[in-house]
Homo-oligomer: A and B are copies of this chain.
């Protein structure tokens, strides 16, 4: 496999390495949201939310719709939601496993 593919693959996976971007994605699961709605919901500055939205937009995860001076964003690629959910499952399985290990250690 070409080196370049690994680089691009790694690049696209950076979508998920910011808690705020994950939270934005989660918010947009339920439907369109404006920048200020997201800013409020995440309790994060408008500037920072816009930066994260720009990253998600450039990577093709979300798409904007302008209505007057308001920009609404929506999920543009549902496949990404599947990947996101799968990794969430991996996390939860891992947490469950750790919990069981701790439980059996406590018994002894």
Contacts and interface: CB of A to CB of B under 8 A. Distances in A.
A87 B83 contact: yes
B86 A8 contact: no
Contact of A87 (B13, B17, B21, B90): B13
A8 B94 CA distance: 11
A9 interface: yes
Interface in A1-39: 1, 3, 5-10, 12-14, 16-23, 26
A3 to B, nearest CB: 7
Contact of A16 (B13, B22, B80): B13
B19 A17 contact: no
Of the candidates A5, A9, A82, A91, the one having the most CB atoms from chain B within 10 angstroms of its own CB is A9
